[in-house]
Chain A
């Protein structure tokens, strides 16, 4: 591989990183909203969300990205490949995050909420001041794990022509007629990204849990 090809590889890596990053950063709060909506006990909404999450968990990303990219224009939403890719990853990761948030919400100790009610705090303040900080720490390992799964599933967006770190290996081998080196190089870059995320997770966990023994 020459310098040009190395540059292509790195630009593919950058595409993977920024698209995944947007989906991860957006998917955490969106998952929170979906997860809380699911347990809010609002009659039709909660059931619809449960159905949406169940289907979302079962849908392969390749299938979803095709549905959005090919299907949305037909219903009057014009969408380019990159937007479809980001949206796919975002929707997918949000459904998994919703389940993580839901489970930490449901296992939150009742007594702490009662203590807050007893001193006259209201729902919003209890959620923001007491629950959310602790829920975030409890959800962190699951959310980070989901984030690494997202990066590993992100090559699905290659199917609609986005030149990410996986698809760029096609482009490179079309020039060099040697597919093995770019594939191995891409594999190594993925490993570095994932290893970096696992490391970040350890650092965050250590920093976040200063209050627990």
Chain B
């Protein structure tokens, strides 16, 4: 469906931190059901780009559209209210490198907090939904445990369940496996692989080349704040067009 409305779209995003120009005219189209991986050397602006999509960072210029509707800024460029922004964010899940679970809540409480408080689900509904998701990520038996008692891989799977419990239209991942011990990476990637297969729309910043190659529909390669290449994985990994991408791949892949 070439002319369907993209699930998520960024148009000409720029962002500077003081003197530092971190993003320069970034555009991105994520079609419904697609999984896009964002690759690039560290410091190239991947996290900043992802965080601009849900306005954890406010882009200086450019637009973000969620299913065609503007996020964060109105058409006239003014910032939207806290309440309106929260509504848009509720439709986008985000998974962080450092999990960011809330340590004073149990696993179950972490997962149902936003569905009950933001979406207004009843506790029973939210718990039912949460239990299904915890089973799906393999943590049904951990529902009443506090996060400190979990391994990194388990924490990240809870974080994914927390994001999914909002039934988001899009999921954003920022290096979800980078803080994990190597032997725990697989269990998190397996969950993400399943989500991709089920048709979840995802944007994944990652250094896992295998995941990018095998699971993703498209690869976006960033360097020094610009999108350098944008191609299906087979093409990007098999035949990178730019020298920067070639150098990157020779180092990481």
Contacts and interface: CB of A to CB of B under 8 A. Distances in A.
A and B together in one complex? yes
Contact of B82 (A112, A122, A133): A122
B117 interface: yes
B45 to A, nearest CB: 17
A117 B56 contact: yes
B104 interface: yes
A115 B89 contact: no
A192 interface: no
B34 interface: no
A119 B148 contact: no
A120 B89 contact: yes
A120 B166 contact: yes
Interface in B57-90: 82-83, 86-90
A40 interface: no
B108 interface: no
Given A111-B100, A211-B103, A212-B103, A118 B94 contact: yes
B104 A111 contact: no
B96 interface: yes
Contact of A123 (B82, B87, B102, B162): B82
Contact of B114 (A111, A112, A120, A137): A120
Best-buried of B87, B93, B113, B163 by chain A (most CB within 10 Å): B113
Contacts of B100: 109, 111-112, 114-115
B118 A120 contact: yes
A206 interface: no
Interface in A123-147: 123, 125, 129-130, 133-134, 137
Contacts of A175: none
Contacts of B82: 122-123
Nearest to B55: A117
A121 B114 contact: yes
Nearest to A119: B114
A213 B94 contact: no
B98 interface: yes
A207 interface: no
A116 B90 CA distance: 10
Nearest to B87: A120
A115 B118 CA distance: 13
A119 B162 contact: yes
Nearest to B106: A211
Best-buried of B91, B103, B163 by chain A (most CB within 10 Å): B103
Given A114-B56, A122-B83, A211 B104 contact: yes
Nearest to A113: B100
A62 B117 CA distance: 48
A211 B146 CA distance: 6
A107 B147 CA distance: 20
A133 B106 CA distance: 14
Nearest to A124: B82
Contact of B89 (A109, A117, A211): A117
Interface of B: 54, 56, 82-83, 86-94, 96, 98, 100-105, 113-114, 117-118, 146-149, 159, 162-163, 166
Given A133-B104, A211-B104, 11 more contacts: A111-B96, A115-B162, A117-B89, A118-B94, A120-B89, A120-B90, A121-B117, A125-B118, A134-B104, A211-B146, A211-B147
20 contacts: A114-B100, A115-B94, A115-B96, A115-B100, A117-B56, A117-B86, A118-B163, A120-B88, A120-B90, A120-B118, A120-B166, A129-B113, A130-B102, A133-B104, A134-B103, A211-B104, A211-B105, A211-B146, A212-B148, A213-B149
